[in-house]
Amino acid sequence: MNIGITIATLVVLFLGTSSVAAQTVVLAERTMACSLNPGYTIADVVETGRNLEWSEDTAPGVVILRNKIAASGVGGNFGPQFDFLVSSYYPSYAVMVERRGRFLQSQAGRNGQRGLAPFATCNENIGISSVRFAIPYPAGTRIPPLTAATSTNCELNGATIDDAVANHRGFAETVGASIALVRSLNFGGPERPIGSSVGYLASYPSFDDFGAAWDQLQQSPPTPNPENPISCKSPSLWAQYLIHQTTTN
Angle at 197 between CA 176 and CA 173, to 5 degrees: 10
Q: What is the pLDDT of residue 76?
A: 64
pLDDT at position 193 is 87
User: Backbone phi, then psi, for 233, in 5-degree steps?
Assistant: -95, 180
Share of the chain above pLDDT 90, in %: 64
- Is residue 1 in some structural domain? no
Q: What is the pLDDT of residues 126-135, one digit of tens each?
A: 999 999 999 9
In a domain, 190, yes or no: yes
Whether the pLDDT of residue 15 is over 50: the answer is no
Lowest-pLDDT range of 23-27, 167-171, 238-242: 23-27
Range of the domain at 57: 7-245
Tens-place pLDDT, residues 98-156: 999 888 887 755 544 556 878 999 988 899 999 999 999 776 666 899 999 999 999 99
Q: How many domains, in total, are found in the chain?
A: 1
In a domain, 2, yes or no: no
Number of other residues whose CB lies within 10 A of the CB of residue 192: 11
Q: What is the CATH number of the domain that holds 150?
A: 3.30.70
**Predicted confidence (pLDDT) at residue 11 exceeds the cutoff of 50:** no
Structural domain contains residue 235: yes
Of the pLDDT bands very low, low, confident and very high (cuts 50, 70, 90), residue 191 is confident
Question: 118 preceded by cis ω (within 30°)?
Answer: yes
pLDDT the model gives residue 80: 85
Does residue 222 form part of some domain?
A: yes
Residue 117: inside a domain? yes
Average predicted confidence (pLDDT) for the chain:
85
Three-state SS string over the chain comes to: CCCCCCHHHHHHHHHCHHHHHHCCCEEEEEEEEEEECCCCCHHHHHHHHHHCCCCCCCCCCEEEEEEEEECCCCCCCCCCCCCEEEEEEECCHHHHHHHHHHHHHHCCCCCCCCCCCCCEEECCCCEEEEEEEEECCCCCCCCCCEEEEEEEEEECCCCCHHHHHHHHHHHHHHCCCCEEEEEEEEECCCCCCCCCEEEEEEECCCHHHHHHHHHHHHHCCCCCCCCCCCEECCCEEEEEEEEEECCCC
Q: Which pLDDT does position 99 carry in this prediction?
A: 93
pTM of the entire predicted model: 0.85
